[in-house]
Structure 1
Amino acid sequence: MQRLKTAGLTLCHDIEGEGNPTDLLLISGIGTQMLWWKDSFVKTLAGRGFRVIRLDNRDTGLSDGFEQSGIPDIQSMMADRAAGRGLTPPYRLEDMADDCADLLSALGVKAAHVAGGSMGGMIAQLLAIRHPNRVLSLTSIMSGTGNPALPGATPQAQAVLLRPRLSPETDREGWLDASVSGALILGSPGYPEDPADLRRASEASLDRAYRPSGFLRHYAAVMAAPDRRPLLNDLRLPVTVIHGAEDPLVRPEGGRDTAAAIPGAQYHEIPGMGHNIPPALEAQIADLIAQTAARA
């Protein structure tokens, strides 16, 4: 993993499959590090011929943070949004999309195939909208359009994001227990993962970086994002939308709405899949990304 100074800030990134001919950028979701894309999945993608670039978004992992911007009051923002008042987050998803374009430039990559998961899918959509010459194909996974009319998360899934959080500095085991329980709530009921594996993954992320205020600034950026459907309707590139039929956080309607908004988009709703990419689905999703790239 390397830290690279871009036009705006320093971003941490990792490359798998160096020497492969086809660049693929992976963008992860809210508050998550590049480790959200499991090594096994990244290696599977490299086996499909991709030079896989994954990054820590701003405010996560080992990339630059925005602690100077303060901690947004999410409850007040929710009240403002419900009242129809405008929101002013510390930064916007558009800024995070520009970060991705800056990273590609710093790496000397003229254009890449792009895949994003959850909030990363929103960022990937905006990267294609704002920098169309940099995106060869787009795969939006477990994401949405910002359409306010769509159903929200289940109460259990919403609680995973907003429940009071333990500090791992004072209760490491309790923090890990909560992390595993949250992953099980959001995960794929048709493809359950071993809690011990989830715990090891949580430990690896915790020991690499712990940045809870960055999660809240990400959350504020998602809340403030406008409906992207009018802009998505102007996209002209190969697009695949992948969504879990059992996703409790971004409901399947979000994926269907994304595919309906983008001309020519192909939609794949996977039974039993929740808000994650379980190991059992890695090959299938890698194949869909590869097929999308082949359409370019």
Structure 2
Amino acid sequence: MRTIKTSSGISISYQDSGELAAPVIILIMGLGAQLTVWPDELYYGLVNNGFRVIRFDNRDTGLSSKLEQLGNPNLFKIWLSTRLPVASHIPYTLDDMANDVIELMAALKIKKAHLVGASMGGMIAQLIAAQNKKKVLSLTSIMSSSTKPKLSASSLKLFLRLAKHRPLRANRDSAIHYNIKLNQLIGSPAYPQDEQRLRKQATLGVDRAHNPQGFNRQLAAIAASDCRQHLMPKIKAPTLVIHGSLDPVMPVAAGKQTAQQIRKAKLKIVKGMGHDFPPALMAKMTKWISKHVKKAEQKREQKKLKKKP
């Protein structure tokens, strides 16, 4: 793994694969998830399709900076402060996390890139595409939303089920057990993963890095950040929205709404998919993203030719 340091002193750990001269795809991961949650089948599949692909740990995850000095936010106060004039401590926002991506690009001398964001990563990618149009060649938003997550009956049920498995003690075995249960609950009903595979993934993740307080600070960033609905029409980059029909975290309606708000966005609803990356779908997802990025590259080349005298 390599590391860059942002102007604010935050270290960002990343992996950079593929030919340096190839079109760049930057993968932005979701809430509390390390770069390793991007499946190798997808990551190296994109590299083998002729792209330079970068995946990284967001701040407060994996091997990037753990911002313990910012404390453990009061999520209820933050939620309340968005509705009432109540003061609350917000460690950072999604805009700060979007700026980390911009600084990563600058450090690697990447002027323009294709962004692929999953869940919270999709929210970050949307912000960058709307506010830094010249830096974004295409956008792929996976199982994400342009609004703040809403507390529905199904999401409340999910949170209550997860609460039963919350670790009582902060130790390795408890963290691994919770990770397995989490992925079973948010996973794809049509593409279930066996427990042995989930245990292997959970063990690798916990042993690589474990930062539950970082999860809370990222969740606070989502809660404190404004909805992006007013920004969606500003996105000019070719956009692909991928969403599971059975996503228990971000309902399929969120994906449909995102696609409707972005001009000429293409929507792909994946039947039976939840809020994860099922191994059985990775070859298809690699193909969808590759095709989308290649089309955007073709349009870019056509524009360059038109500008030539």
TM-score > 0.5, shorter chain as reference: yes
Measured after TM superposition, the shift of residue 75 of structure 1 is: 2.9
**Kept after mapping to 1: 8 A contact 2:175/2:206:** no
Give me the whole-angstrom Cα distance separating, in 1, the residues matched to 2:121 and 2:259: 16
Under a length normalisation based on structure 1, what TM-score does the superposition of the two structures give?
0.92
> Which residue matches 1:132?
133
**Kept after mapping to 1: 8 A contact 2:116/2:142:** yes
> Which residue matches 2:11?
10
Q: How does 1:1-296 map to 2 (within 5 A)?
A: 1-8=1-8, 9-19=10-20, 21-81=22-82, 89-146=90-147, 151=152, 154-159=155-160, 165-166=166-167, 169-170=170-171, 172-296=172-296
Amino acid aligned to 1:13:
Y
Give me the whole-angstrom Cα distance separating, in 2, the residues matched to 1:45 and 1:246: 26
Instruction: Point out where structure 2 has 5 or more consecutive residues left out of the alignment.
Output: 297-309
Deviations 1:70-92 (A, max 9, x none): 11012333344465757652100
Q: Give the stretch that moved more between structures: 74-83 or 236-245.
A: 74-83
Moved over 6 A (4+): none
Under a length normalisation based on structure 2, what TM-score does the superposition of the two structures give?
0.89
Amino acid aligned to 1:146:
T
Give me the whole-angstrom Cα distance separating, in 2, the residues matched to 1:151 and 1:254: 12
CA gap of 1:19–1:153, structure 2 versus 1, over 3 A, is farther
Deviations 1:230-282 (A, max 9, x none): 11111111000000000000111110111011011000110010001111111
CA gap of 1:162–1:254, structure 2 versus 1, over 3 A, is farther
Amino acid aligned to 1:22:
P
Q: Secondary structure at the match of 2:146?
A: coil
Amino acid aligned to 2:119:
S
**Kept after mapping to 2: 8 A contact 1:41/1:279:** no
Q: Which has the larger radius of gyration?
A: 2
Aligned residues: 295
Give me the whole-angstrom Cα distance separating, in 1, the residues matched to 2:226 and 2:163: 21
Give me the whole-angstrom Cα distance separating, in 2, the residues matched to 1:112 and 1:133: 9
**Kept after mapping to 2: 8 A contact 1:20/1:49:** no
Q: Secondary structure at the match of 2:237?
A: coil
Q: Give the stretch that moved more between structures: 70-79 or 280-289.
A: 70-79
CA gap of 1:87–1:228, structure 2 versus 1, over 3 A, is farther
Amino acid aligned to 2:223:
M
Give me the whole-angstrom Cα distance separating, in 1, the residues matched to 2:223 and 2:256: 20
State the percentage of identical aligned residues.
38
CA gap of 1:160–1:48, structure 2 versus 1, over 3 A, is farther
Measured after TM superposition, the shift of residue 23 of structure 1 is: 0.7
Amino acid aligned to 2:133:
P
**Kept after mapping to 1: 8 A contact 2:245/2:252:** yes
Deviations 1:9-68 (A, max 9, x none): 221000122446111000000011101102222111112211110010011111112211
Give me the whole-angstrom Cα distance separating, in 2, the residues matched to 1:240 and 1:124: 12
Instruction: Point out where structure 1 has 5 or more consecutive residues left out of the alignment.
Output: none
CA gap of 1:150–1:262, structure 2 versus 1, over 3 A, is farther
**Kept after mapping to 2: 8 A contact 1:104/1:110:** yes
CA RMSD of aligned residues (A): 2.2
Amino acid aligned to 1:24:
I
Measured after TM superposition, the shift of residue 144 of structure 1 is: 0.2
**Kept after mapping to 2: 8 A contact 1:167/1:175:** no
**Kept after mapping to 1: 8 A contact 2:125/2:139:** yes
Deviations 1:207-239 (A, max 9, x none): 111111110000001111212111111111100
Measured after TM superposition, the shift of residue 286 of structure 1 is: 1.4
Q: Secondary structure at the match of 2:16?
A: strand
Q: Secondary structure at the match of 1:233?
A: helix
Q: Give the stretch that moved more between structures: 95-104 or 40-49.
A: 40-49
Amino acid aligned to 2:41:
S
